Amino acid sequence: MMLTQSGRKKAVITGATSGIGAAYAHGLAERGYDLIITGRRRDIIASVAREIEEKFGIRVDVSITELSDESKVDLLVEQVKEVCPIDILVNNAGFTTKGLFHQEDISTQEKMVLVHVVAMMKLTHAVLPAMIERRSGTIINVASLHAVAPMSLSATYSSAKAFMKNFSMCLHGEAKAHGVKVQCVLPGFTRTDLGRGIDVDMHAIEDKNIRKWMRPEQVVKVSLNELNRRNCVICVPGAGNKLAYLVARLLPERLWYMIEPAIVRNMP
Ligand SMILES: NC(=O)c1ccc[n+]([C@@H]2O[C@H](COP(=O)([O-])OP(=O)(O)OC[C@H]3O[C@@H](n4cnc5c(N)ncnc54)[C@H](OP(=O)(O)O)[C@@H]3O)[C@@H](O)[C@H]2O)c1
């Protein structure tokens, strides 16, 4: 990976091959940031990088990094540290599985924690000191509504996302006095490639009246617009998702267990 030295502001985005990460790459490039983006589908991420460079005239460096491999994450951390200070870090990479926990492959569940939790912590730990020193910087963690609405068949995913949410809230408490912004985004259904892991084509699912699927660009627009809201860490894009978030937070636990099976039946 060749790292950026242009003097422009810099953003690191994990999982920018497609979906929400690719939309952050476009959104931040449009705002004039040079980018370091990570992914694994080499050809696709290379063409994402080319397209963005040509369209916005900024520089995009690509790191092919398997984030469930701690030695690869450590390498990425060293490369990111070399170009600190970073202005924005977006911990976005993620995948999902669907199934009863005791029947799932345990190594895949372990990878879920490594990607969503461990890689996120290590990258955050790498960029935060320079941000604090400069009293400037933003960390965006892309979690999920599952963080507040934990579901059967997604035990590890829901728990990893809850970690991301709580971690972000705690970090905000520590970093706000030092001028560093932390945001945790809780998207609902969004049309991306996330369904690949569970054999679902999310691009082809029809909208229902009560649950409309968002486009990744809409999610990112809300996230970037909300960065200016003071003391506001949790970002829930979309009116329907905001309602779901409120209900999940206010519903008594016993009622939650009564309605949760019906919600799970309607999940993709
Ligand atoms: N789509 C939704 O409905 C939804 C809802 C709530 C939250 N989210 C969250 O949004 C984030 C982005 O997902 P998306 O929906 O945009 O899906 P996506 O289009 O599949 O993008 C996921 C990205 O994460 C990368 N990634 C996945 N596993 C990885 C691994 N082990 N190592 C390195 N990179 C890995 C992928 O890289 P490669 O493809 O190159 O392997 C890809 O760039 C995820 O954290 C997801 O949990 C999505």
- Ligand 1 pocket mutation pick from 48, 113, 192 by most atoms within 8 angstroms of CB: 192
User: Where are the extended beta strands (E) located within the chain?
Assistant: 10-13, 34-39, 60-64, 88-91, 137-142, 180-185, 234-235
List the domain boundaries for the chain: 10-265
Q: At 227, list the tokens.
A: 């960065």
Task: Considering only CA atoms, give the Rg of the chain.
Answer: 18
Q: Is 238 left (phi over 0), alpha (psi -120 to 50) or beta?
A: left
Secondary element (H or E) of residue 226: helix 216-226
Kindly state if the Cβ of 70 falls inside 6 Å of ligand 1: no
Q: Is 154 in the pocket of ligand 1 (CB under 6 A)?
A: no
So what CATH class is 10-265?
alpha beta
Q: Is the pLDDT of residue 267 over 70?
A: yes
Question: Is pLDDT above 80 for 211?
Answer: no
Q: Which of 219, 70, 98, 91 is nearest to 157 (CA)?
A: 98
Mean pLDDT of 106-120: 98
Tell me the pLDDT tens digit for each residue of 121-133. 999 999 999 999 9
**Contact of 92 with 20, CB cutoff 8 Å:** yes
Identify whether 157 is a catalytic site residue.
yes
Torsion region of 66: left, alpha or beta (phi above 0 gives left; psi -120 to 50 gives alpha): beta
Q: For residue 254, report the distance from its CA to the centre of ligand 1, in Å.
A: 32
- The DSSP secondary-structure symbol of 35 reads E
Residue 62 has pLDDT above 90, yes or no: yes
- Residue 233 alpha carbon to ligand 1 centre in Å: 21
